[in-house]
Amino acid sequence: MAVTIARSNPETVRQPIGYTHAIEIRNAERRLVISGQIGMALDGTVPDTGGGQIDQALANLRAVLEANAMTVTNIVKTTVFLTDRGLIGAWRAARSALLGDHAPASTLLIVAGLADPRFVVEIEAEAVA
C-alpha cells in the first residue's frame, strides 16, 4: 500500500498561511524524526546573521533528509525555535523558498535562548515515506 497524506484545514479554524493545521498519515513505511538543526556549517562556523543561520539550518535539514533518501516534500511536521521575534520574516521567507507550496504542520516558538548563545534558530522536523 502506498503512503497517503491527507491535509486538513477545517473551516471552523482560521485558515493558515504557510502551514497545515493537521496531517493524517496512513501506510507510512518509514518515519524519520530529525533532531533540531542549527545554523552551524560542517566546518563548525556559525553565520554572523540570523538570516544566515536560518539558511544554514535549513541546508542542514535538507542534508539530513537527503542522507535518508528523502526530500523536503516528505516533511510532515516542523518545530522552529527562534530567539528573536525580529527573525520571523526571515524565517517565513526562507521556509517559502525551501518548501514552495508544500505546507507541513508547523509550530513556531520564540524562546529566551538555545544551548549555545551564538545560535538564534533551531529547526526540528518529522518526515515520512
* pLDDT over 70, % of the chain: 100
- Say whether pLDDT at 53 is over 90: yes
CA distance to 33, 77, 115, per residue, from 21 (Å):
19, 10, 29
Phi, psi (deg, nearest 5) at residue 43: -85, 5
Write the pLDDT tens digit of every residue in 57-98: 999 999 999 999 999 999 999 999 999 999 999 999 999 999
Class of domain 29-128: alpha beta
Residue 5 per-residue DSSP state: E
Largest CA distance in the chain: 48
- Quote the pLDDT of residue 36: 98
- Name the band, by pLDDT with cuts 50, 70 and 90, for residue 10: very high
Query: What are the residue boundaries of the structural domains of the chain, listed by start?
Result: 29-128
Set of cell numbers at residue 8: 486538513
- As a whole number of angstroms, the distance between CA 33 and CA 50 comes to 25
